[in-house]
Amino acid sequence: MKCPFCRVDNDRVIDSRACQDGFAIRRRRKCNSCKRRYTTYERIEESTIKVVKKDGSRVPFLRENIQRGLERACWKRPISDRDVEKTVSAIENDVYTSFESEIDSRQLGELVMEHLRELDEVAFVRFASVYRQFADAGDFVEELRPFLSDTSRTPK
């Protein structure tokens, strides 16, 4: 592994531990040349699942795309990076356990919204507004109706 700072291929692993619910290994490394530390992640290379877009095109399922979408939805919300990472891992796990080779983009969006609804309501509405392409305030009200009518909720 080349050091990201000095680009020398001479490091050692200081610490290794499982992360992302056991789907990855986090390795803490130290460069023997510049003495700086950095972190790498090792994941199982799984069979590629394709996402079938609305136009019929197929693109690889990328964890990074899910993470980017969640980070945008959770922007300036009291949600830790760890919670976002756990949610991304849960979505990825659901995709790989429920689908063999392809997932429709609508199914993927609904799966993300299910997980976001549990994580944070505001982030859920933000994501839904982009995903479902809300045209006006009425669309927001319709999406919020289940939250507003849920009387069994306790205030936070």
Give yes or no: residues 12 and 89 share one domain: no
Same-domain status, 133 and 58:
yes
Q: Is there a single domain that holds both residue 101 and residue 142?
A: yes
Structural domain including 143 reads 46-149
Mean of all residue pLDDT scores within the chain? 87
- Name the least confident of 58-62, 66-70, 82-86, 148-152: 148-152
Quick check: is 156 in a domain?
no
128 belongs to a structural domain: yes
Residues 123-136 pLDDT 10s? 988 888 777 776 77
Is 23:90 a contact under the CB 8 Å cutoff?
Answer: no
On whether both 87 and 30 belong to a single domain, the answer is no
Angle, helices 81-98 vs 105-119, to 10°: value is 140
Alpha-helix runs per DSSP H in the chain: 63-73, 81-98, 105-119, 121-131, 137-149
- 142 falls in which pLDDT band (50, 70, 90)? confident
- Whether 122 and 134 map to the same domain: the answer is yes
The pairing of beta strand 37-43 with beta strand 24-31: antiparallel
In a domain, 66, yes or no: yes
Average pLDDT (134-143) is: 71
Percent of the chain predicted with pLDDT > 90: 59
Do 91 and 144 belong together in one domain? yes
pLDDT tens-digit readout, 81-96: 999 999 999 999 999 8
- Residue 154, in any domain of the structure: no
The predicted model gives 24-45 an average pLDDT of 93
Amino acid at 98: S
Are 63 and 130 found together in one domain?
yes
**Contact of 72 with 63, CB cutoff 8 Å:** no
- Tokens 């609904």 correspond to 110
Q: Domain count for the chain, please give it.
A: 2
Question: Quick one: 38 and 52 in the same domain?
Answer: no
52/40 same-domain check: no
* Per-residue confidence band for 38, with pLDDT thresholds at 50, 70 and 90: very high
Verify that 50 and 16 share a domain, yes or no: no
Do 134 and 64 fall into the same domain? yes
Predicted confidence at residue 69, as pLDDT, reads 93
Chain-centroid distance of CA 21 in Å reads: 13
50 and 122 in a single domain? The answer is yes
